[in-house]
Structure 1
Amino acid sequence: MHQSQTTRAHRLTVAILAASGMLTSLQFTLFVPSLGIMAETLEISANDATWIVTITLLTGTVATPVLTRMADMYGRRRLLLLSIGLLVSGALIAACGMTFAWVLVGRALQGFASSIVPIGMSLLREILPPQRAGSAVGLMSGTLGVGSAAGLLLSGALSESFGVAALFWFTVCAGLLAGTCMFFIVHETNQYAGGRFDFIGAMLLAVVLASALLMISKGGAWGWSSTAVLSLAVLGLLAFLVWVPHQLRHPQAVIDLRTAFRRPVFQTNLATFFAALGMFGNHLLTVHEVQAPQGIGAGLALGPAVAGLTMVPAALAMASLSPVAGMLLNRFEGRMVLALGSAVMALAFIFRFFVRDSLTGIIVGATLVGVGTALSFAAMPALIMSYVPRAQAAAANGINSLLRTLSGAVASAVFGLVVSTFAISSAGTEHIGEVGLSIAFAALASSCALAALLALLLPANSHVSEPKPLAQVKA
């Protein structure tokens, strides 16, 4: 009976953490299709409206390595509750305020919730038996892709039916439900060492990451040679040069650089970046492609709500295959599952390169990318956690999650560059022409193929010995 109760509690924990991860990941795409309506509602320019997405990416990028490190030090359940609380608080502030300033404040707070997925995966590794941990981590990792696709679907439906405030109220209700379940059901077993947190290192890292993300996301609009971009480059470089030696000396560093730059960890993170480009590129190009007016591409001219429906098969594929990917991880090496998923994504983009004249072809191509995404994203955290000590699991997964976020920012920036470079104007709106689509699909296929190659070159044995503490290394 006791074993049966434990199994049921484990299943509930996996379900709650997976649902929380999905809610978090859709925050980045929930607002993209509705930015035009948001600009009209808040009476701001289209350029200002992009900050509604950028501010969440910015705070999420900065907060993820900080909160995941704190989770390893002070308790993962505690930081999970804090993260979901900030997500709900941010949504509530934005929904009640509904001015540009209050929306930015709310969206900034929502970015802190990006740490839920890496912390949740490390908690699953802690509380579940080894034979079940792989499939559970795979399921939760797969929610990143499912949530991103679901955000595109929900965005148009909610904003067109109930107004843009409904996007925030949806998060408030879903977040309260997830947080309540997490408080009463999710538990942890380990005692954490605690210690003095490296606030100086965290602030320096925040400057480095904020400078990099602002350059990537706003460089095209501001001008790559503008004073603002060059100033950010100098500021970020100076902060980085101070941060690296500080991290190497600090006994409780925010990021253990010695572990992060071990070949298997570094190579897995690099493969993560290139594979994630495929997922984000698939979302951006699919919705953009089906909204193109007649005479451009497939010429389907779908509205935001209907355009979001084209991602439903991809979302279903990712949701259904995430548990399968977890089972594959229990049978095969993580590097092989990552390589397989990345290869499927590369082949899917080759398919999309040649077949993009019909709605059916677009949906099939996007769904195939979703299949590869489910396999790849399940393998990434499993590989990372097999390469690092258990005490650093959340922080290491936080870095891997950070690479996915940066990949999304790069994908958005490059997407904007492709739109402006290969634009065809129609009714005052710019759309990517045939040449631009061909270049985009070829580039994404190459990126995913590179991720597959990096995965195959990973060491066959993914288990490494625990590193000595820094104090012993110094001695």
Structure 2
Amino acid sequence: MPDALAQPAGSGQSTASGESAPPKPNVVVAVLAFAGIVVSLMQTVVIPIIPKLPTLLNATAADAAWAITATLLAAAVATPVVGRLGDMYGKRRMLLFSLVLLVCGSVLCALSDSLTPMIVGRVLQGLAAGVIPLGISIMRDELPAERLGTATAMMSASLGIGGALGLPAAALIADNFDWHALFWTSAVIGALGTTLVFLLVPESKVRTGGRFDVVGAVGMAVGLVCLLLAISKGADWGWGSGTTLGLLIAAVAVLAGWGRYELRIAEPLVDLRATARRQVLVTNIASMAFGFSMFAMSLVLPQLLQLPEATGYGLGKSMLAVGLVMAPQGLVMMACAPVSAALSAAKGPKITLMIGALIVSAGYGLNIVMMSEVWQLVVVSCIIGAGVGFAYGAMPSLIMGAVDPSETAAANSLNTLMRSIGTSTASAVAGVILAQMVTDFGGHALPSENGFKVVMAVGAGAALISFAVASLIPGRRPLAAAHPTADDTTEPATASDAATAPRA
């Protein structure tokens, strides 16, 4: 299997830009993890002002919601496209391009006082979602095998780390400064991340080249937009409405046609044959179920904390308090990254993913009976964060252990997309549950305590489904152990290579 990218740092091979200095593994890991945190902060920064967006943008609540939906759609489309472009033309190049878009989007949002520029800015921010899978792929290119597991676990967990740590900071800024400061802060941090990547991260040494599949990119974009629009807006439009059903039918038709087209061309946007390999396919399905399970926590805990104490189950806290309660989760995820890597090295990433799913399920089960005190929610948040840290550290190893090194960015991007689809679906399901299970409070319908418990039970069930699906993943050697040497630079990996790989 070729892996000129995988040869140890300092081997003397020149980078694509002609530089001969070997990368410094610690610096590369720190900078790429910081870039991942920057992207997750972008997603978090708007949370404290969501209820105020209609007033701030002089728009209706339905129209203002597009400032959130637009980011979701842009991220879903951009992630696999940017991953493929990274494999073709250079992962660092596309990572820098993504970060520049994030900075531009943040500046545009910071300058906006109306809906249209805000939506455009949020779209540009969403286009940066491919940074984390690109960073993981760069790590495979540049790091020695013994460092790869811990580094990819940290990079994969950076999305949750940034979200957990960014929420209290965003709430503090929103409470004490003009709301535009949120986006100026995002722009400054994004510019810092861009500069560090430009100065300290080397370019990939191996690229596939070839012709970009424009037709495949357009087809995938149309299919995903139809699917995610139906999922995210179905509750507002009505699940039986002509618009929702039409979008779902269009999504099925377009994605089916797209799949047939991708299988017939020589250089597809997504190599569906590689995606169909058992290890990749089952990992992606488990990731989708895991993404579904994760959303319950980010939806339930903030609402429980902010609902009035007079409801009997709300805790009456501010958004800043919500951020402080959830912040330890990010620290736990960071601490679990090296533990996840060590477990994957000893037992295989399949076991690590299964353990992570069980921990998340246990956290939700505990939350059903422990939701009346702030400290209880902190404990639950940390337990779930530990499970996420284990699982997120294992997923990239499972994907990269089954695909050719020249396909890692595209394969990791697709895995990220699967998690996002799971999360979006969970948002819709939880929204339906909480809309149906309500209680009257001062003439207003609020989600009931049992409604929250049902959502948490669904999250626990989704985590158990992820565990069951992950158990079907073929046993493999840990990625570091199976990492190709610098001498393996001539023959591409095939599906038969994956099928005959040694088992753990």
**TM-score computed with the length of structure 2 as normaliser:** 0.89
Q: Deviations over 1:320-377 (max 9, x none)?
A: 2223222332333000111111111111111111111211111111110001011111
Which deviates further from its counterpart, 270-279 or 360-369?
A: 270-279
Q: Distance in 2 between matches of 1:255 and 1:296?
A: 50
Cα 1:141–1:297 shift into 2, 3 Å: farther
State how far apart, in whole Å, the 1-side matches of 2:316 and 2:329 are: 20
Q: Which residue of 1 aligns with 2:218?
A: 203
In structure 2, give the amino acid aligned to 1:43.
Answer: N
The Cα of 1:7 is off from its aligned counterpart by 8.3
**How far apart, CA to CA, are the structure 2 residues paired with 1:193 and 1:149?**
36
Find 2:209's aligned residue among 151, 173, 194. Answer: 194
Does 2:474 correspond to 1:466? no
SS at match of 1:424: strand
Shift of 1:427: 5.7
Describe the shift of the 1:430–1:327 C-alpha distance in structure 2 as closer, same or farther (beyond 3 A): farther
What is the CA–CA distance in structure 2 between the aligned matches of 1:163 and 1:445, rounded to whole Å? 39
- Tell me how far apart the structure 2 counterparts of residues 431 and 26 of structure 1 sit (CA, whole Å): 29
Residues 78/234 of structure 1: CA separation in 2 closer, same or farther (3 Å cut): same
Q: Which runs of 5+ in 2 are unaligned?
A: 1-8, 11-19, 484-491, 497-504
Q: What CA deviation, in whole Å up to 9, does each residue of 1:68-90 have, x standing for no partner?
A: 00110111011001000000011
179, 194, 200: which is aligned to 1:164? 179
Equivalent position of 2:400 in the other structure: 385
SS at match of 2:24: helix
Q: Percent identity?
A: 33
What amino acid sits opposite 2:97 in the alignment?
Answer: L
Q: Which one of 391, 394, 414 corresponds to residue 409 of structure 2?
A: 394
**Corresponding residue number in structure 1 for 2:82:** 67
Aligned pair partner of 1:13 in 20, 28, 38 = 28
Q: 8 Å contact 2:39–2:128 — kept in the other structure?
A: yes
Match of 2:325 in 1: 310
Aligned residue for 1:140, secondary structure, equals: helix
Shift of residue 392, structure 1, vs aligned partner? 0.7
Q: Find the aligned partners of 2:284 and 2:428 in 1 and give their Cα distance.
A: 20
| In structure 2, distance between residues paired with 1:8 and 1:206 | 35
Contact 1:18/1:143, CA 8 A, preserved across alignment: yes
Shift in Å at residue 38 of structure 1?
2.3
- Does structure 2 retain, via aligned residues, the 8 Å contact 1:22–1:144? yes
- Superposition RMSD on alpha carbons, in Å? 2.1
What's the CA shift for 1:226? 1.7
Distance 1:19 1:298 in 2: 37
Query: Deviation per CA, 1:404-461, whole angstroms, max 9, x where unpaired?
Result: 2112212222232222111234467653212112211111111111112222221112
Q: Name the counterpart of 1:92.
A: 107
The equivalent residue for 1:138 is 153
Are the counterparts in 1 of residues 433 and 451 from structure 2 also a CA contact under 8 Å? yes
- The alignment status of 1:45 with 2:56, answered yes or no, reads no
Q: Is residue 2:255 matched to residue 1:240?
A: yes
Counterpart CA distance in 1 for 2:256 and 2:285 is 22
Q: Deviations over 1:218-243 (max 9, x none)?
A: 00001112222122123222312321
Give, in whole Å, the separation in 2 of the partners of 1:30 and 1:425: 31
Q: Distance in 1 between matches of 2:39 and 2:446?
A: 29
For 2:127, the aligned partner's letter is: F
CA distance in 2, matches of 1:168, 1:64: 22
Maintained 8 Å contact 2:167/2:327: no
1:421-460 counterparts in 2 under 5 A? 421-426=436-441, 430-460=445-475
Report how far residue 156 of structure 1 moved: 1.8
Which structure is higher in helix share? 1
* Residue 189 of structure 2 is aligned to residue 174 of structure 1: yes
Q: Alpha carbons of 1:150 and 1:423: their partners in 2 closer, same or farther (altered >3 Å)?
A: farther
**2:367 & 2:332 partners in 1: Cα distance?**
17
Q: Distance in 2 between matches of 1:403 and 1:150?
A: 24
Counterpart of 1:82 in structure 2 is 97
Contact 1:56 1:107 in 2 (8 A): yes
Q: Which amino acid aligns with 2:494?
A: P
SS of the aligned residue for 1:113 comes to coil
Corresponding position: 1:213 with 2:228: yes
Could you tell me which runs of 5 or more consecutive residues in structure 1 were left unpaired when the two chains were aligned: 470-475
The answer to whether the 8 Å contact 1:297/1:356 transfers is no
| Cα distance in 1 for residues equivalent to 2:352 and 2:371 | 28
* Residues 344 and 350, structure 2, Cα contact 8 Å, conserved in 1: no
Moved more, 297-306 or 124-133: 297-306
Q: Does 1:364 align with 2:379?
A: yes
CA distance, structure 2, for counterparts of residue 324 and residue 8 of structure 1: 25
Distance of aligned partners of 1:337 and 1:413 in 2 relative to their CA distance in 1, 3 Å threshold? same
Partner of 1:225: 240
* Segment of structure 1 superposing worse, 233-242 or 336-345: 233-242
